[in-house]
Amino acid sequence: MSASTGSSRGAWFARFASLQAWSARFGRMRSVPPVLKQIPVAILFAVAVVLAVLVPTLEITNRSGFLASIAVLVGATALAVWFTVAPGLARFSVVIPLLDFVAVGLLRYGTGEARTIFASLVILPVIWLAAEPKRRNILYAFLGTALTLVLPFLLGSPLQGNANELLRVLYSSTAFAGAAAVVNELSRLAQRHLNDVRRRTNAAEEELSRAAAVQRQHVDAKAGLQGGGRVTAQDDPNHEGAAGLDRDDRR
């Protein structure tokens, strides 16, 4: 076999091996790890805490609620790390955005309730839940948003002077649930496309495996013919007779 043929065959098998490795990694990547989903929540929550402490116009109206929000967020982040390290627990990861809702609600309670600027943090756990393909996560997003907005009143804040708060809770929760429904549908479409890509990848891998097996058989058969089909002059029993006749002809 020539060197060029051997090198091209080696390059072909190298490409096949790289495709197999990529396919294996692609197949294992079923979803984004919980800790990656929690990082944006933790970062923006930390920014909110720093702003509430350093900016004089952002008043901390309830120190206990403020500190409790930090504790809940730290606990949710710790769970995200734990569920990432122990993938078998990932099926319980829905509890993390629910804790994020509680943390945002406590932060809202501790930084002025309706006057706080941090209520928009609720969008992050909403997206977390909506990005999962299960339809029930839309309901979780609605209930989580409602819990975030109503939590200050559950903790004792008066409704006097906040007559429109219950309407705000209902309207905002419905709006965020609608956004969650859109994200959820996009997630389901992406999941179907991903499953289709996986099926095509598996089919291509099987086809390449069969082609590799046929190629190896062809190479082995060719090598066997080249190694066993050569007959030298010394091994030919008719060589002596042919040489004698040739000498007689020359005489």
Whole-number Å distance between alpha carbons of 114 and 14: 62
pLDDT at position 31: 66
Q: Quick count: other Cβ atoms within 10 Å of Cβ 156?
A: 9
Q: Is the pLDDT of residue 250 over 60?
A: no
Q: At 121, which amino acid appears?
A: L
Question: Predicted confidence band at 29 (pLDDT cuts at 50, 70, 90)?
Answer: very low
Question: Predicted confidence band at 27 (pLDDT cuts at 50, 70, 90)?
Answer: very low
Q: Tell me the per-residue pLDDT of 142-158, one tens digit each, with 9 for 90 and over.
A: 999 999 988 888 887 77
Q: Is the pLDDT of residue 230 over 70?
A: no
Give the residue with greater pLDDT, 14 vs 220.
220
Torsion over CA of 54, 57, 148 and 122, rounded to 10 degrees?
-70
Please answer whether residues 69 and 103 qualify as being in contact, where contact means their C-beta atoms are separated by less than 8 angstroms.
Answer: yes
**Mean per-residue pLDDT over the chain, rounded:** 77
Contacts of 167 (CB under 8 A, 6+ apart): none
Considering the chain, what percentage of its residues have pLDDT values greater than 70?
73
Type and span of the H or E element at 149: helix 136-154
Contacts of 98 (CB under 8 A, 6+ apart): 125, 140, 144
Q: Tell me the per-residue pLDDT of 9-18, one tens digit each, with 9 for 90 and over.
A: 555 445 544 5
**What is the pTM for the complete model shown?**
0.66
Give the residue with greater pLDDT, 150 vs 231.
150
Q: Is the pLDDT of residue 120 over 70?
A: yes
Write the CA distances from 81 to 2, 33, 76, 199, integer angstroms.
55, 9, 9, 31
